[in-house]
Structure 1
């Protein structure tokens, strides 16, 4: 593998780890070192760093927070009804 490709992999440990998990990239980069941007793009998709994947993560987190808030509201309303005592 060329020294410039090795330098890029040394500077970016996540790419180095991705290549270890997907060894086909050793061959691709040895034959065509200009494939580094394609490697970065594929690694970003693998690690969930693309914009659509990030938006989906935020949506899932917001959904979870909203569900927790609804559960707290229901719990508080149940506790307030219980604290008023029996209806006469």
Structure 2
């Protein structure tokens, strides 16, 4: 493998880990080093760093927060309802 590709992998441990999990990239990069952007794109997709994946994570988090807020509201309503009128 070329020295510049090795240096890139040394500087970016997440790419190095991705290549270890997908060894076919050793061959691809050795034959065609210009495929580094494709490697980065696939690694980002694998690690969930694409824009649609990030948006989905935010939506899931917001859904969880909204559900927790509803549960808290229901809990407060049952506590205040159990005490009766003052």
Deviations 1:61-86 (Å, cap 9, x if unpaired)?
Answer: 0000000000000000010010117x
Separation (CA, whole Å) in 2 of partners of 1:12 and 1:83: 60
Q: C-alpha root-mean-square deviation of aligned residues, in Å? A: 0.8
Asked which structure has the greater CA Rg, the reply is 1
Moved over 4 A (4+): none
Matched residue count: 85
Can you give the 5+ residue segments of structure 1 that lack an aligned partner in the other structure?
Answer: none
TM-score if structure 2 supplies the norm length?
Answer: 0.97
Distance 1:81 1:59 in 2: 33
